[in-house]
Amino acid sequence: MTKRKYFFPVVFILLIAAMFLSLRYGAVTSKWTDVSQALLNFDPNNQGEQLVRYLRLPRMIGAVLVGAGFAISGALIQGITSNPIADSGLLGINSGAGLGLALVFAISSNPSPTAGVIGSFLGASVSILLIYLVSSRVSFGLSPVRIVLLGAALSSFFAAISQSISLLFDLNQDMTFWFVGGTANLSWNQLQTIFPLILIGVLGACLISPQVTLLSMGDETAISLGKKPNRIRQLSMLFVLLLAGSSVALVGTISFIGLIVPHVVRFFIGHDYRYVIPASGLFGALFFVLADIASRLIAPPLETPTGVIVTIIGVPFLLLQIRKGSL
């Protein structure tokens, strides 16, 4: 209880600090006066304020949205599948969304943000449908190993098709960004399209969180309290689709955020999803904003893809969970 009491205000303060640092630091370090002026009294003729307003501000907001989206989708999947190492990336959902984006780029060399979102959703929907159909079989769904193996197979299959499409339609430059993942190309137009979808996903996940807690205790517990497990799973998968599909449409096929964040959160606040889901969103936003800052500072003026940084952290974390007996 004590950990939970301090977790939310501490992480919130750290997130606010990280957001301001994200506006200042990069290949060029901005002045604090430029940051404050860009937010409060923007001068379109000032290059320093333009850098903050048009490049770093949408990038920072996008990092907050994506970090929260991936983290909450991971927490939801872990809750409804009773799989402690579930993640939208490990289960192939992100790769499915990436395949949808590849098809959109093959059709149009310069697709609109809306077209990218639709393609991402369609690709993610295929992965989610397959995962849901398989996990709904009790003999299969109770085995985290089998679910992860299925996700790995789907991820590899979708990634291979995406790369084939990239080669066939000469999309290497366009698709490289989506394969490695990052926030460098975010724009206000993209955020206007994606923000409502992620907001709906976050609010929906918070509303359904008490039922996810019951489901994580077993279908029998949920049924005994008058709940319908299949309905809970269906609604949860819908919100996962909104969160993961929108996040991939913004920054590419980044994995492991949904694996790392819920485990860290549960250490501090327990296993009640009424707290796990909002806490995952808050900590996921902090995690991804910090990863985005690191991507700019590791080898300036070049940028290290944010997806690479997250993977470097995520792979040892996955191995640690395996060693601890999560499988």
**What are 187-218's pLDDT values in tens digits?**
888 899 899 999 999 999 999 999 998 887 77
Residues 164-175 as b/e (b if ≥16 CB within 10 A, e otherwise) read ebbeebebeebb
**pLDDT for residue 178 is more than 80:** no
Q: Which residues are CB-contacts of 47 (< 8 A; sequence separation ≥ 6)? A: none
Other CB atoms within 10 A of residue 301 CB: 8
Q: What is the CATH number of domain 1-324?
A: 1.10.3470.10
Number of residues assigned to the chain: 327
How confident is the model at residue 179, as a pLDDT? 67
How confident is the model at residue 136, as a pLDDT? 61
pLDDT classification of 220: cutoffs 50, 70, 90: confident
**Domain layout of the chain by residue ranges:** 1-324
CA 258, CA 30: separation in Å to the nearest integer?
32
